[in-house]
Structure 1
Amino acid sequence: MYSARTRVENEQWVKEIETVTDELDLDADATSTATDLFLSGVPEAERSKRAVMAASIYAASLISGQAQSQSDVADAAGVARLTIQQRWKELLRDAGMEPPSW
């Protein structure tokens, strides 16, 4: 879980998550899940935040049953597909979830 302070300190990223999930036509539950995943594992390095944001959105799309391709999420979030591929499973594990094995 994350603190209210974490949310306030990362408000620009929360807004970016909302923008990207809107572009991908994900619902409010997916947006909320992506936000929770992101804020639960916000990296300290500013340059890593976009990657974690994109991985959070991709993972949330799977969790919510609104699966998006890694390429579509990467394009909408402004990262490389490989960035998502390398991070999303670890992000789920860190959140206490077991990623699919496919």
Structure 2
Amino acid sequence: MYRAGTERAEEANLAALEQVADRLELDSQARSAARELYLSQLPAPDRSKPGLRAASLYAGSLIAGDQRSQTAVADAGDVARLTIQQQWRELLRDAGFEPPSW
């Protein structure tokens, strides 16, 4: 869970998340899930916000059943696929989901 002020403070990053979601043509449910994941797992100073945005979008697309490949999300978000690969399962677990075993 996150505080209401967090959404305001992260306005620029949420706008960037929406831009990447537009490039991926994600549906509204995937966008909403990605937004919630991002806001609930705000990065520590040593963690990349673009990487967290991309991992959130990938995980959000899984939750919504509007899946995109890690490569497609990485390309749209201008991050390495490895960044997404290293973060998405943890995001799902922290949100109370059981990530797929593949």
Calculate the TM-score normalised by the size of structure 1.
0.95
* Segments ≥4 residues shifted beyond 4 Å: none
Question: C-alpha offsets along residues 9-56 of structure 1, whole Å, 9 cap, x if unaligned?
Answer: 111111011111111010111111100000000012175111111100
Is 2:56 the partner of 1:56? yes
Inter-partner Cα distance in structure 1 for 2:71 and 2:18: 18
Point out the more displaced range, 21-30 or 42-51: 42-51
CA RMSD of aligned residues (A): 1.1
The number of equivalent residue pairs is: 102
**TM-score between both structures, scaled by the size of structure 2:** 0.95
**Structure 1 alignment gaps of length 5 or more:** none
Deviations 1:49-72 (A, max 9, x none): 111111000001111111100000
Tell me, which stretches of 5 or more residues in structure 2 are unaligned? none
Look up the match of 2:8: 8
